[in-house]
Copies of this chain bind each other. A is one copy, B any other.
Amino acid sequence: MKSGEINIRVRYAETDQMGVVYYANYFVWFEAGRTEYFRQLGMPYNEFERNDIFLPVTRAFAHFKVPARYDEMVRVVTDVTSIQEVRIAFKYEIFRENELLVRGETEHAFVSKNGKPVVLKKQNPFLWRRLLEAAGENVE
């Protein structure tokens, strides 16, 4: 499947006294990109939680190249990079027009509401197959 894409207008709240976007907010935008990726895949993240599957972040990384500023429109491009029995990984690129500002990665565990690891293939074969199809050749 192709990348998930979402446009985000930078909020004043997201800037800091350096006059640019505060670094932790890019991770929030990654999440917005992820949410949109799942929606465009036809399986909104809410469906996971309704099926008692949660995807807490276990690792996150970002490389900040160029800062975004208040009122700019940025574009978050999201892809799945790996699907395993108990985890999934994404990568993100944030652009302002054609300029790459930030790239990043997150890794997520599949867990139930109480935090126990879930084997997605067993717990929900439908979601599992749907994810595999979506991620195509990127799957490990």
Q: Which residues of A contact B (CB under 8 A)?
A: 9, 11-13, 15-20, 22-25, 27-28, 31-32, 35, 39, 44-46, 54, 56-65, 67, 70-71, 115
Tell me which residues across on chain B come within 8 A of A70, comparing CB atoms.
17, 46
Q: How far is the CB of A46 from chain B (nearest CB, A)?
A: 6
Which residue of B is nearest A35, CB measured?
B71
Given known A44-B71, A64-B56, A71-B35, contact A28–B17 (CB-CB < 8 A): no
8 A-B interface contacts by CB (under 8 A): A12-B16, A12-B35, A13-B24, A23-B60, A24-B27, A45-B71, A56-B67, A59-B61
Q: Which of B9, B17, B115 contacts A16 (CB 8 A)?
A: B17
